[in-house]
Each structure stands twice: as structure tokens, then as C-alpha cells.
Amino acid sequence: MPETTMQAFVLAHAQPDFTLQAARLPRPVPSAGEVRLRVAAAALNPVDAKLCASGHPAWRRPHVPGVDAAGVIDEVGDGVDTSWLGQRVIAHTALARPGTFAQWVVTPAHGVSTVPADIDPVTAASLPCAALTAWQALSRRLRLQAGQTVLIEAAAGGVGGFAVQIAKALGARVIATASASNASYVASLGADAVIDYRKEDVAAQVRALTEGAGVDAVLDGVGGDTARRDLQLMKFGGQFASLLGLPDTAGIDLFARAPGIHVIALGGAWSSGDLAHQHDLARMGDEVLAMLQQGRIAPLPIEVIPADAAQLTAALHRQLAGRVRGKLVLDLAAPG
């Protein structure tokens, strides 16, 4: 009799000291318009760790976390072209649904991107949330142009690391912030200037580097006082992209600055039900994969996490604490 279950890692209770457990669950079956992936690798992202700590109102526990996957399509739902079968793909899946920390996952067919043969599953899995967020922010929202200057906060993380490379590929000048221990790493990604946010006066350094003119754009993954400061470091009409919701603009003369403020919410394509943006997830995946294949960007440093509940839990807590350079990727390729 064929096997109908799979190995998965589940969260029974969302709390700050969360623990994931290994479990055997039924393999999901794709509904109409969906594909099923045999997951080879799944990236860990800050949003995964944050939701393990705080929960999501749509989750039915025990819940399988994870939103990023690379794998092979082994089953399609009604209405999906069977030519998808056997295709290697990546997917950024919906937060509200059972996730990618499992051997199989289902997701709408219109949201997946085909992985070129020369990109391995672990590298491919490292891309969706981090690289697509950076690409959406810089190309779709900030519309960064060659010759412009962009300030990228938290440049040593996943989104920041891809953002530095993408901005350089677009021909922009990059000013990045990072700790002293990460400065040389961020510079190696292509940043033109790296500011130690712990020891240096970031505002003074940005003004000096731009001869008082300010930057054309900001990609902010820090929020709070950092976002308020950075809004005031832009040129008139500058573009600001936030990964953490709307910044506090109280007391800032927006009329005198006329900033464009963009909230980046990659997964909002799913929660909003907006089909155009769901299709754009696939397009952005194709674009980022092409940039990687062409050598315009490079993979970030990847630490592979074995399919072990204790090690996965520990890795997510490191992610939650912000102690990750590059990407963490869960290896799910082994049979079981």
C-alpha cells in the first residue's frame, strides 16, 4: 500500500519559548488550481520565527510553519496543466496555510517559479522571502535607477544582503548599515559605504557621504526611531520602503519633504486575495532566479539545518534574536 503520510515539524503552542516537534501528518492533496511540491529544502525567515513566538489567528494547531520552499511538483489539482509535473520550482506560500517545514506542501500553481537546472535546491530555497522582498522593494516600489543613492538598513540580514546586490546590479550607489563585525561582509556584497550603526552617527555619515543632499531612497528593515531618522535623510521626493509597516511621521514636515512611503508586504498578495500580485510573485521569482543564473547576484552564505526538531527550533530562536548572517535553510531532501 503506498505511503500516505509525511514527516513534518509542527508548532503546538505559539509562545516566546516555542518548541517545534516532529510529527507524521497526512500528505496534502492539491485542490483545483494548486500544485503539490515534494519539498527538498525550506528557508527559515524572521517572519517564521516571529509567528512561532506570537501566533497567527488563522492557524489551526498543531501548525506546520514555514513559507519558502524549493522542490519538485509531483501532483497537480484540477485545471492545472500536467506539464508542471516533475518541474523544479520555488514558492513563497501563504502565511495562513500549512507551511513548508514538511516533506510536502500545496500552493496555487500561479505563484510558483521554475528553477533552472544549474541552481541547487538549497540555494533556490534561500531566495523567495528574502530576495523577492528585496526585489519588490527596490524594483517595484522604490523604482531604483542607475546613478541614484540608496540607504539600506540591516544589510547583513537576508533581505539586506540581497538588497545590496540587487541595488548594485541596478546601477545604484549603496550606503549600508551593519555592525562592525559584519562590515567587511556587507562591503563584499558590493556596498559602497558601510556605517557602523552602533558606534557611528548614521545621520552625520549619510549627510557627509551625500554632501548634504541626502539619499534618493531608503530600504528600512529596522523601524522605530531608525525609520523616523531615515525619512529625514532623503532628498525632496525621496522614496522610502518599510518592511515593518508605516513609520511614525509625527512631527516631520511631510509637505516640505514629499516622501513616497511604501509598505512592503510580500505575503500580502495571498492575504489580500489579489490575483495580480500573486502572479507577480511568480514573475519576481523568475526575475531573481535569472539574475542569480546570470551572475548579477550571488547566493548569500547558507547554513543548512538538518531535519531535526531540536536543531530547527534552535535555528528559529537564533533567527528571532537577529543573530543570523545570510540564510538558514532546512534540508528536507532525505526520504522518510
Co-location of 179 and 107 in the same domain: no
Co-location of 133 and 251 in the same domain: yes
> Do 304 and 70 touch, CB atoms closer than 8 A?
no
Co-location of 243 and 179 in the same domain: yes
Give the chain's residues under pLDDT 70: 1, 336
Co-location of 211 and 258 in the same domain: yes
* β-strand pairing of 215-220 with 234-242: parallel
Domain encompassing residue 89: 5-115+301-331
Residue type, 167: A
Co-location of 50 and 133 in the same domain: no
Q: What CATH number does residue 247 fall under?
A: 3.40.50.720
Quote the strand ranges of 51-167, DSSP E.
68-76, 88-92, 104-108, 112-114, 149-152
Residue 269 domain flag: no
What is the structure's pLDDT at 323?
82
What is the structure's pLDDT at 3?
85
Residue 135 domain flag: yes
Co-location of 149 and 193 in the same domain: yes
Residue 40 domain flag: yes
What is the structure's pLDDT at 1?
55
Residue 79 domain flag: yes
What is the structure's pLDDT at 334?
77
Co-location of 252 and 145 in the same domain: yes
What is the structure's pLDDT at 322?
86
Region at 165 (left for phi over 0; alpha for psi -120 to 50; beta for the rest): alpha
* Angstrom distance (rounded) from CA 49 to CA 71: 22
Name the domain count of the chain: 2
* Angstrom distance (rounded) from CA 110 to CA 12: 31
Crossing angle for the helix pair 275-293 and 128-135, to the nearest 10 degrees: 100
Co-location of 75 and 181 in the same domain: no
Residue 67 domain flag: yes
